Amino acid sequence: MALAEKNQRRREILEAALLCFSESGIESTTIEMIKTQSGASVGSIYHHFSNKEGVATALYIAALEDHANQQFALLEQANSTESTIKALVYAYLDWVTANPELALFVQQARGYVLNSAHADLLISRNRERFAQLLSYLNRYSEDGSLRIFPKELYTALVLGATKDYCRNWLSGRIKTPPADYRDILAEAAWRTVSV
């Protein structure tokens, strides 16, 4: 797992929580299970995260930030509208392929986190990332190569097929790894939004 957490103990707790959530489900996982898996004290877990919802939210946000770091690194290398759109697909596919357990947790935990006391934090972080993403798309919007859609549609149009494929792969319904279709999915995304 590639969590970019700076605090070692915090990272160990999150890694242990991911194992517990993956094996037992979020609802059935207890702080005691996370304590046993991580070797941390209950006090340490509560100090870092307040409660199980806090652990799940922190893990979810750390996963999103890890993906965003990879995404923005690829976007920095993009030098055209086409390479920007394709970078979005590549970053998502590469991150899911490298972190399948974490990616599956993200899919399963979204509703849990959004229904928790920490929902506002997640919504705020998502807005920040979306604004950053739009700034990359706006770089080349003047060149006329991108079709004009409402801004909230771009993510669905660019990543919809890719996310659907990854979801099916993570659930085991599809066996071919997403990386095998990396270029096909990137080209399809570009054709969807290009003029």
CB 122 within 8 A of CB 113: yes
Domain 60-193 has what CATH class?
Answer: mainly alpha
Q: In whole angstroms, how far apart are CA 157 and each of 20, 50, 123, 124, 184? A: 34, 37, 21, 22, 15
CB 155 within 8 A of CB 133: yes
CA dist., res. 88 & res. 95, Å (int): 11
CA dist., res. 95 & res. 3, Å (int): 12
CA dist., res. 108 & res. 29, Å (int): 14
pLDDT of residue 70: 94
Location of structure tokens 């392929």: 97
> What's the half-sphere exposure (Cβ side, CA atoms, 13 Å) at 42?
4
CA dist., res. 110 & res. 115, Å (int): 9
pTM of the model: 0.89
Instruction: List the chain domain ranges.
Output: 60-193
C-alpha 81 chain-centroid distance: 22
Residues 6+ apart with CB under 8 A from 16: 34, 37, 38, 39, 40
pLDDT of residue 3: 57
Q: CA triplet 56, 158, 190: central angle to 5 degrees?
A: 150
pLDDT of residue 139: 82
- Long-range CB pairs of 5-12 (<8 Å, 24+ gap) are 5/62, 7/48, 9/40, 9/44, 9/48, 10/48, 10/58, 12/38, 12/39, 12/40
Chunked mean pLDDT (size 10), the chain, 195 residues: 67 96 96 96 93 94 94 94 96 97 95 90 90 85 85 92 97 96 98 95
Q: What ranges make up the beta strands (E) of the chain?
A: none
pLDDT of residue 58: 94
